[in-house]
Structure 1
Amino acid sequence: MLARGDPGAIGPARAPAQVSVILPVHDAEPWLDECLGSVLQQDFEGSMELSIFNDASKDKSMTIIEKWKKKLEDSGILVVIGGHDSPSPRGVGYSKNQAVAQSSGSYLCFLDADDVMMPQRVRLQHEAALRHPESIIGCQVTREPPNSTERYMRWINQLAPDQLLTQGVPEDLLFFYEHLRKGGGVVRVDQSLLLYRYHPGAATHSVLETTIWAHRVRFLEEQALPHWATFTIWNAGRQGRRLYRSLTAGSQRKVAAFCDVDENKIRKGFYCYEDSQERPKPRIPVLHFRAARPPFVICVKLDLTGGVFEDNLRSLNLQEGRDFLHFS
C-alpha cells in the first residue's frame, strides 16, 4: 500500500475513498471469486473502493465481476470498472495505471486477480501507511501451493527492516526504484496478509530476465557504485563475470578484484575480459574471500550452500549497505 502521489490522478468527480484497491484483470476466471470475496471480507472500517480494469479478457471474468459488484456495493464498497476489448491485452503495467487513474482513494492497495487478501490486510497496511507516509507498505505473504518457490518465500518473509531497501526487489521493479530515487522508504507489516499464487500463467513469468537484470545493473550504478572508489565482486564464476561485463567502462575500472572460495578459480589468479576495448585488456585478480577487501557486490545466491556462504560473510563482520550489497 502507498499514499497516492499524484493528486491530479483522482478520476471522476466523487467523494474520494480512503483506500482504493487496484485490481488489474486478464482472463482471471479461475481465481476471481476467491479474490473478490477477500475484498468483501476486509475488516477495514474506513471508506474503500475497488477499482478494476479489465484488460481484454476473453473468458468469463466480466460476468464474475458484475456478479460481485452488487455484493460489494451493498456492503459499502464502491466498485469502479474500466477496461477494453481489443484483440490483445496491453499488459499488467498498463492495466494498473488505468485502474489507478480511475480510482479516487488517498491510499492505493494493489491486488492481483489470482491472489487473496487476508481480512485484516487493508486495515493493517493503512495503519502502517499513516505512520509512515513516505513509505511503500508491504507485508509477509503465504505461497500457494505451499511448497513452491521455497527459497524465495524464506527470503521475502525474513528480510530485516534495513534489508527491505538493500535487498527488496518486488515485481514492480521500475516503480520501486523510482520511489527510492525520490527518497521514499519501505516498511513491512510482519504478518502474512496475502495469499500469493504461483502458476504458469502468472504475470511475473512474462517479464524477461534480461530486462530485470539490465534495470538492476542501472540502479546499482546509480545508487551504490558512485560512493565507492573501488569494489570487489564476490563470485568469480558465471554470475560475477556477467555482472562485470554488464557494467559501464567506468564502473569496470572500479573493480579491484573478484573473490571466491573455489580453489580452481583462485589458482588461475585473474580474470581477463577478452571483449574489452581497453589496451592492454584488463586482468582482474581472483582472490580468496578472506584476502579480498570490501566493499563487495555479492553475486552468490542466498540459501543454496547449507549456510556456508552466509557463515563466511558473517565472519567478516561487515555492515550491509555500507560494506556489501547483494546482487542475486
Structure 2
Amino acid sequence: MQAGGYPAAGAIGPARAPAQVSVILPVHDAEPWLDECLESVLQQDFEGPLELSIFNDASKDKSMTIIEKWKKKLESAGILVVIGGHDSPSPRGVGYSKNQAVAQSSGSYLCFLDADDVMMPQRVRLQHEAALQHPKSIIGCQVTREPPNSTERYTRWINQLAPDQLLTQGVPEDLLFFYEHLRQGGAVVRVDRSLLLYRCHPGAATHTILETTIWAHRVRFLEEQALPHWATFTIWNAGRQGRRLYRSLTAGSRRKVAAFCDVDENKIRKGFYCYEDSQERPKPRIPVVHFRAARPPFVICVKLDLTGGVFEDNLRSLNLQEGRDFLHFS
C-alpha cells in the first residue's frame, strides 16, 4: 500500500467524497479468477471509505460481464466502484493499466491487487494502519502461494526477510516504481501476516517481463546506489552468474572488482578470470580466491537456500554486516 492523492479522471455527475483507500485492479482476460478476487474485496473488514478502481485492458473474455455483476454487489455494500478501460485489438500492458486505474481513483492510499490474486479480509485494514505509522513507506505483507508447492524458495525468502533486508534484498515485480521510491528517500515496511493469496500460473503478467530487462535495471541500480561508496569490491561467485554480473558492469565499475571468490577448488586453482570480450589491452585478468582469502565488501551472486545452509554458514562465519560489507545480487 502506498500514499496516493491522485485526482479522479474524467468524473461526471455529482461530487462524491473521496475514498480513504483505493484498491487498484488492472484486468486483462481474468475470467477464471475474477469472482474470487472481487469477493475478497467485498469481504474486507476495513471501515474507512473504500474504492475499487478497475481498468479493463482490452479483455476478450467475459471479464467485463463479471465486473458489472460485482459492481452492484460492491456498491450495495458501500464500496465505490470506478471502471475504465479500452477495447483496442491488443492490450497495452499491466503497467499502463495500473497507471490508468490510479489516475481515475480518488483514494489517499493505494492498495494494488492483481486480478488473479485474493486478499485476506484484514489486508486493507492492517496495511492501512501500517501506512499511517510509516507515512514514507511502501507497505508489503507476507503471501501464500497457490498452488502451495510453486516457487517454494521464493515464497520462503520473501516471507522471512528481516526488516532491514527488505531494502538490501527486496526485488519486487514493479522494479522501476520501487527504485524511484528509494531514490526519493522512501522506505519499505512489511506487515508480518499472510494477507494475500498469490497465484502462480503460465498466464501471469510476471512472465511477460523479460529477465534480461529486469537484470539490466538491477545492475544499473547497483551501480547507482551501492558501488559509488566502495573503492573496490569482490564478486562472490566465480561461476556463470558472477561472471555475468562482471560483464554487465560499466568499464568504471569493472575496474573496481578486486577479485572473484568461491569455494570451487577448480576455479580457485585456475587463479584468475580473463574477460575475453574486453576492449582493454591487456585484457583484464581478475584473481579468483577462496572466500576466506577475499576482502569485503562483497556483491554476492549465490542463490540462497540452495546448498543446505552451507553458503549461509560460510557467510555468517565472516561476521559481516549486510548493507555495509555485502549485498545480495542473486
TM-score of the aligned structures, taking structure 1 as reference length: 0.98
Q: Distance in 1 between matches of 2:313 and 2:44?
A: 42
Q: 3-state SS of the aligned residue for 2:121?
A: coil
**Equivalents in 1 of 2:183, 2:265: separation in Å?**
40
Alignment of 1:7-86 (within 5 A): 14-86=16-88
Whether the 8 Å contact between 1:10 and 1:103 is mirrored in structure 2 is no
- In 2: Cα distance, 1:145 partner to 1:13 partner: 43
Runs of 4+ in 1 over 4 A off after TM superposition: 5-13
Once the two structures are TM-superposed, the CA of residue 232 in structure 1 deviates from its matched residue by 0.0
State the secondary structure of the residue aligned to 2:51: strand
Identity of aligned residues (%): 94
- In structure 1, runs of 5+ residues without a counterpart are none
1-structure distance, mates of 2:97, 2:288: 47
SS at match of 1:9: coil
Shift of 1:12: 10
* Displacement of 1:237: 0.4
The answer to whether the aligner puts 1:236 opposite 2:238 as a matched pair is yes
Residue 10 (structure 1) shift = 13
1:15 positional shift? 1.9
Shift of 1:13: 5.5
Preserved contact between residue 11 and residue 103 of structure 1 (Cα < 8 Å): no
- Deviation sequence 1:95-133 (CA, Å, 0-9, x none): 000000000000000000000000000000000000000
Aligned residues of 1:9 and 1:101 also touching (Cα < 8 A): no
**What is the CA deviation profile of residues 27-54 of structure 1, one whole-angstrom value per residue up to 9, with x for unaligned ones?**
0000000000000000000000000000
Give RMSD over aligned pairs: 1.7
> Given that residues 54 and 95 in structure 1 are in contact (C-alpha distance below 8 angstroms), is that contact kept between their aligned partners in structure 2?
yes
Structure 1 10/167 Cα, relative in aligned 2: closer, same or farther at 3 Å?
Answer: farther
| TM-fit CA distance, 1:14 | 3.5
State the 1:16 CA deviation: 1.1
Q: Structure 2 CA distance, aligned partners of 1:254 and 1:10? A: 58
Task: State the distance in 1 between where 2:241 and 2:283 align.
Answer: 20
User: What whole-Å deviation, never above 9, does each CA across 1:191-237 have from its counterpart, x for those lacking one?
Assistant: 00000000000000000000000000000000000000000000000
* Shift of residue 278, structure 1, vs aligned partner: 1.1
List runs of 5+ in structure 2 lacking aligned partners. Answer: none
User: Whole-Å Cα distance in 2 between the matches of residues 111 and 11 of structure 1?
Assistant: 27
Q: Does the CA contact (< 8 Å) of 1:9 and 1:100 recur in 2?
A: no
Secondary structure of the equivalent of 2:197? Answer: strand
Distance 2:273 2:61 in 1: 54
1:126-160 per-position Cα deviation (integer Å, ceiling 9, x unaligned): 00000000000000000000000000001000000
Q: 1:287 and 1:191, CA in 2 relative to 1: closer, same or farther beyond 3 A?
A: same
